[in-house]
Every structure is written in structure tokens, then in C-alpha cells.
Amino acid sequence: EDKVVQSPLSLVVHEGDTVTLNCSYEVTNFRSLLWYKQEKKAPTFLFMLTSSGIEKKSGRLSSILDKKELSSILNITATQTGDSAIYLCAARGSTLGRLYFGRGTQLTVWP
Amino acid sequence: SAVISQKPSRDICQRGTSLTIQCQVDSQVTMMFWYRQQPGQSLTLIATANQGSEATYESGFVIDKFPISRPNLTFSTLTVSNMSPEDSSIYLCSVESGNTIYFGEGSWLTVV
């Protein structure tokens, strides 16, 4: 059965801290891994990873995929209160557009 | 990129009634996907809406409960039928465009 597991499920930090969110996957015919940020309703796209070992960066956020370990991490440096959200990891298999989601990591950043 | 509009954004529904959610995309797409996110849970795929053919439902979801229409390449509807409190969720429409998957703003349904 295809599945995606995220850890931790919940994380509370103070502004300025660095956090690492984990995602592992078991998806048949894996094609790519995606990270989303969900604040209120709709998930907003952060990264798509297809190649192992190549880091993608956007400001204070970065992510990398390890296909050997079937995992990915999302790093956020110098966290801000605006980073408080649920971070979702999703894996894509062979079916165009179809994603398998993890339960998400609820990140809370205190001032 | 793709811009997806969903309606309604939120609604409070009576038990036993049905509600239809609309999803409009600003470009033509082959497949549209409907997800459900129950409180505190992640997104679960309900079905894939294909233009010109019947929707493909995931295990645990049936057409009688979640009928879907896909009249053209930019529009789809999802109906949640005979609602119960367990159907209280966010319902999200999704499409793939330019190798990225986009989501609508979601429809937050509360069944009382």
C-alpha cells in the first residue's frame, strides 16, 4: 500500500530557531516528492523534488530528497511567526497528478 | 501555473441534505482531482474526474455518495450527498499544470 509518513506531527519552537521536518515514502513507481504549506485552507506549493541529493532552496526554506532512503527533509532556518502552519509532504507515483499525502507537521513558532 | 476557483468557500449544511461544490480552472486540464481533509487529518483523494468519462473513485468512496461531473476541460463539480456530521471537512479541487500540482482554496463544509 502506498503511504507517506511525516515526523514529527507537531513542533513548537521560538523565533530564530532552525527546524527540520521529515518525510518518508513508499509509493509504487515513485516520480517526485512535493512539499506544501497549509495555513488556512488550500495548500500552497513549496518544492518539488525529483532527483536525489540536489537541494532546492527558497529563502529560508530548503529541501532535499534521498531516493536511497526513500525520504526527504524540509529545513527552515531563522524561523518567524509567519512560518507557523501545517507542512505537508506528498509523493507522486505514476498516475498523472495523483498525490499521496502524509498527515503533516504542525509547526508553531512563538515570538 | 493554474488558478483554481472553488465555490462555496464555506457552508453550514443540515444533516441529510446534499451540497454541490464547483471547481473552475483558468486553463484546460486533462484530469481534475477531488480531495477531502477531515479535521486534524491529511488530504485523502476521493476521486479523479476525467472529461468525457466517469470519475474514478478511490477505495472507500462511492459514486452514490460523491457524484462528480466533468462537463469540459476547465470545470468540475463534486456533490456530497445525504450529508452526516462525519462529512464535515474541507473539500479541495486539484489539477496538474506545468508539472506542478495546484489546489483550489477549498470548500469548508460543516454538517449540523
Model pLDDT for residues A41-99, shown as the tens digit of each residue: 788 999 999 999 999 999 999 999 999 999 999 999 999 999 999 999 999 988 777 89
Task: Give the model's pLDDT for residue A13.
Answer: 98
DSSP structural state of residue A80: -
Kindly list the residues from chain B whose CB atom is less than 8 angstroms away from the CB atom of residue A99: 33, 43, 45, 94, 101
pLDDT band at B21 (very low <50, low <70, confident <90, very high): very high
Is the pLDDT at B30 greater than 90? The verdict is: no
Contact check, Cβ <8 Å, A97/B94: yes
Tell me what the mean pLDDT of segment B75-101 comes to. Answer: 93
Q: Does B73 touch chain A (CB under 8 A)?
A: no
Residues 6+ apart with CB under 8 A from B53: none
Distance CA B21, CA B9 (A): 9
User: Which H or E element spans position A110?
Assistant: strand A105-110
**Cβ–Cβ below 8 Å for A97 and B31:** yes
CA distance to partner chain A, nearest, from residue B99 (Å):
8
